[in-house]
Each structure stands twice: as C-alpha cells, then as structure tokens.
C-alpha cells in the first residue's frame, strides 16, 4: 500500500537557519503531494502542494519540489523564524482516491 | 473562508461512557474523515464517508462508529470509551472532484478518558 516516510524529529534550529525536512513516498500511479503544518493547539493547515512531477509548491517562504525519480517531496526554507515552530506532516493522495496517507510528523522548534 | 468546526476543543469522559464527537463543514464537500493523532504515530484514519449515510472503515475502526445523516455533518461515536482512546481527534473534509484532494481540517478535539 501507499506510504509516506518523513524525517524523524524533533528538529531544533536557530532563527535564520536553513531548514530541510525530508519526505519520501511509495505509491502506485502518480500521487498528489502535500505538506501540512500544525501549530500548537490547532488542527492541520495546508502549507503547500504539488500535483505532478517537477511541480514546485511554495507558501510563506517554504518550498517543496515533486521529484518523481527519487519519489521525494522535501520541505525547505531558507531562513526560519520562531513563528515557524510547529509540527509538519508530509502526505500523499492518489488520483481517484480521496484518502490521504500521512507521514508521522516532524516537530520543529526554532530558538531565537 | 472555508470552515470545518468541531463541537468541543477539550473533553473529559469516564471509562464506559458513550461519547459523541461532532464535525460540521460549510464547503458542501462530499467526503468527510475522522482521524486520531497520537505522538509518534502521526494521523491514523478511523472512518470516512463519501456521501450521506455512506461510511467506510479506515485503518483503526475498532471501538468507533460514525453517523452521517446530513452532508455537512459527520459524527464519531465511541460506544464505550476506554482509556486507550485518549487522543486528539481531527475531522477533515474534501471534494470528490478535482485532482489534488486537499483536505480541510477542523481544530481538533482533545479527548481524555479517565
């Protein structure tokens, strides 16, 4: 079945550091890929998405590129802020299947 | 602005009680989902529904049931709450049409069973 594997946390970085959170997927067909973010005490919000190979999703300074050859969708940000402290989830869905498969989440803490 | 709401943010129940968690969406979405979120396990799908009165089991349905009498409302029922059902419960919804199936989430209900 489909699965998503993401970098285990927790991850702690200093403000303005470069961030990478790795995500790889296994799926039949061509899934859509997502990054969700969960701020403390809240539900999940969509951060960015990509629906086909080589697409780049971006939002709030975060980026992720859909790499079919490496089945990856790594999340990156050039300069993190304290307000980026949250849990980040990578997820995939296959066309025609409304269910999402989630990774286990990566807790990110940014220290001033 | 799209919205998924859940009836309670925090809930404390006793072992053996029947518990109802309610979720309402205002986006006219066909599909609705219930997940539970536990540390180190991520989100696990309990049940989902793709139409009124339709339901399908997710990955961990044991101990839970659901009800969908109206398109906008999806209820999760714990028939006899147990301490191992202490968790964060998240509701989500999405359209059937389209290619990306982005899910919209509610704020979550943190349930404690004592």
- pLDDT tens column, B64-79: 999 999 999 999 999 9
Task: Retrieve residue A23's tokens.
Answer: 């995500």
Q: Phi/psi class of residue A104: alpha, beta or left (left: φ > 0; alpha: ψ in -120 to 50)?
A: alpha
The tens digit of pLDDT for each residue in A33-76 reads 999 999 988 889 999 999 889 999 999 999 999 999 999 999 99
Residue A49's SS3 state is: strand
Across the range B42-60, mean pLDDT stands at: 92
Question: Are A10 and A63 in contact, with CB atoms under 8 Å apart?
Answer: no
Mean pLDDT of chain A: 92
Q: Which of A51, A99, A104 sits opposite B40 (nearest CB)?
A: A104
- Interior CA angle at A26 toward B95 and A101, to 5°? 35
CA distance B31 to chain A (A): 8
The beta-carbon neighbor of A43 closest among B58, B96, B108 is: B108
How many distinct helices (H) and strands (E) make up chain A? Answer: 0, 12
Interface of A to B at Cβ within 8 Å reads: 32, 34, 36, 42-46, 49, 51, 89, 93, 95, 97-100, 102-105
Which segment of A13-22, B7-16, B59-68, B101-110 scores lowest on mean pLDDT?
B101-110
With an 8 Å Cβ cutoff, is B38 touching chain A? no
């Amino acid at each position: 079945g489909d699965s998503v594997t993401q970098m285990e946390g927790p991850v702690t970085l200093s403000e303005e550091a470069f961030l990478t959170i790795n995500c790889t997927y296994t799926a039949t067909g061509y899934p859509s890929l997502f990054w969700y973010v969960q701020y403390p005490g809240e539900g999940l919000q969509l951060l960015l998405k990509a629906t086909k190979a080589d697409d780049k999703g971006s939002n709030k300074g975060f980026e992720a590129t859909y790499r079919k050859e490496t089945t990856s969708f790594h999340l990156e940000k050039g300069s993190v802020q304290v307000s980026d402290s949250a849990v980040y989830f990578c997820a995939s869905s296959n066309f025609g299947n409304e269910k999402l498969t989630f990774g286990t989440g990566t807790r990110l803490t940014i220290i001033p | 602005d799209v919205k998924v709401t859940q009836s309670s943010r925090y809930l404390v129940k006793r072992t053996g009680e029947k518990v109802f968690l309610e979720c309402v969406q205002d986006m006219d979405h066909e599909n609705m989902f219930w997940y539970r979120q536990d540390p180190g396990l991520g989100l696990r799908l309990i049940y989902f529904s793709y139409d009124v009165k339709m339901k399908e089991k997710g990955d961990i349905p044991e101990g839970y049931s659901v009800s969908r009498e109206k398109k906008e409302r999806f209820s999760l029922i714990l028939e006899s709450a147990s301490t191992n059902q202490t968790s964060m419960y998240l509701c989500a919804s999405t359209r059937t049409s389209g290619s990306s199936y982005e899910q919209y989430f509610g704020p979550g209900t943190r349930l404690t069973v004592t």
